Amino acid sequence: MTAYPQGPGSAPPPRWRAGRIVALVLGVLILLPGLGLLAGGGVLLWADKAGRADDGYLMSGSDSFSTPGYALTSERLDLATGADWVPLSATLGTARIEVTSSNDVFVGVAPVTDARAYLDGVQRTVVDDLGTGSAAGGETLISGDAPSGAPGDQDIWTESVSGSGTQQLDWAPGQGDWMLVVMNTDASAGLTLDGRIGATAPALDGLAWGVLITGLVVTIIGGLLVALAIRRRPSGTAPSYGYVPAPTLGAPRYPGAAAPWTPPAPVDRSSAADAAPSPVRHDPSV
C-alpha cells in the first residue's frame, strides 16, 4: 500500500520563524506597560472625581503628632515643577494645611532661611513625612531652649493662622524653599495635634486623561503585535513545505508518469454488431 500526504485540513501548523517570535516578544513588552498606564490613569481619574471634598481639595489622611519641645516643623519644602514653562499654580494649585488641637495653636509658612533663623537653638520636632499617613519613625527631636518670642510677633510668615480647635491655612505656594511651623500661640513647650495636608491640584484631571489615553494607545499596539504573531494560517491554504494532494484514480502518481491502464467497461455481446449469425451459402454442385 502506498501512503499519500494527508489533506489540507490536517496539515501540520506553520513553523515559528524569527519574525513571529520577535513580534510576540515586542508585543508583550509593549502590552505590559500599556496595561500599567491604563490602571494608573484610572486611579488618577478616580482620585480626581471621587477623592475631592466638596470644596475641591484633595486631602491626605490625618496624622497624629506630638512634641515635648516648642515647635513642630516640616522638613524643607522644595517646591518646583521641574519645567520653567509649567507654573506651580497649574500643578499644585492652592495648598491647605489643617491642624486640630485642644491648645491655642499658631500655624505658619515661611521661607526656610527665615524659619531656621527664628528656630535656631530652639527645641523642636521635625516631621519628614507629613501627609503620608504614617508619622511613626518620621519625627526627629532636636534639642534646644525656648524661642526668643511668640510666633505671632514675627514678621517672617508668608501665610499664618492661629486659634483653638481646627485651623485651616490656605496658601498659594510659589517656587522656592519653604517650611511649615506649628507652635503654641504663647510659645510654650508641649504640643499635641492631628494634622493633614492637601491641595486643589487643578492639573490632575488633564494628567489622568493623558495617562489613560497613552495607556490605551500603547495597549492597542501591543495587542495587535501579539495577535499578528500568534495568528494561525487559514485551514484551506496549503502549507509552504510542498504539500501535494493524493492522486485521483487514473491520474499520474508523479509528474511525467503515464496514467495507469484502466480496463474497458463490459459489453453485452448479444446486442453487439458482430453477434449476428453468418448468412447460409449453397454449393451449386449439390
CB-count exposure of residue 95 (10 Å: 0-12, 13-18, 19+): buried
Q: Are 197 and 97 in contact (CB under 8 A)?
A: yes
Q: Are 154 and 71 in contact (CB under 8 A)?
A: no
Q: What is the pLDDT along the chain (286 residues), one digit of tens a residue?
A: 555 455 555 555 556 777 778 888 888 888 888 888 888 888 877 777 776 766 777 777 788 888 999 999 988 776 654 445 445 555 677 888 899 998 899 999 999 999 999 999 999 999 876 654 444 457 889 999 999 899 999 999 999 999 988 999 998 877 778 899 999 999 999 999 998 888 777 767 777 788 888 888 888 888 888 888 887 655 555 555 555 555 555 555 555 556 666 677 766 666 655 555 555 555 556 5
Contacts of 185 (CB under 8 A, 6+ apart): 103, 104, 105, 106, 150, 151, 152, 162, 163
Contacts of 200 (CB under 8 A, 6+ apart): 56, 57, 58, 92, 93, 94
- For residues 162 and 80, give the distance between their C-alpha atoms in angstroms, rounded to a whole number: 28
Q: Are 209 and 7 in contact (CB under 8 A)?
A: no
Collapsing DSSP states into helix, strand and coil, what is residue 95?
Answer: strand
Q: Are 260 and 247 in contact (CB under 8 A)?
A: no
Which amino acid belongs to residue 105?
V
Strands (E), the chain: 58-59, 63-67, 71-74, 77-79, 95-111, 124-127, 139-142, 159-171, 176-184, 191-199
Q: Which three cell numbers stand for residue 281?
A: 451459402
| Strands 95-111 and 159-171, sheet pairing | antiparallel
- In Å, how far from its chain's centre is CA 281? 112
DSSP 240: T
Q: Which three cell numbers stand for residue 182?
A: 506649628
216-240: b or e for each residue (b if 16 or more CB lie within 10 Å)? eebbeebeebbeebeeeeeeeeeee
Q: Are 11 and 243 in contact (CB under 8 A)?
A: yes
Report which of 176, 174, 196 is spatially closest to residue 94, judged by C-alpha positions: 174
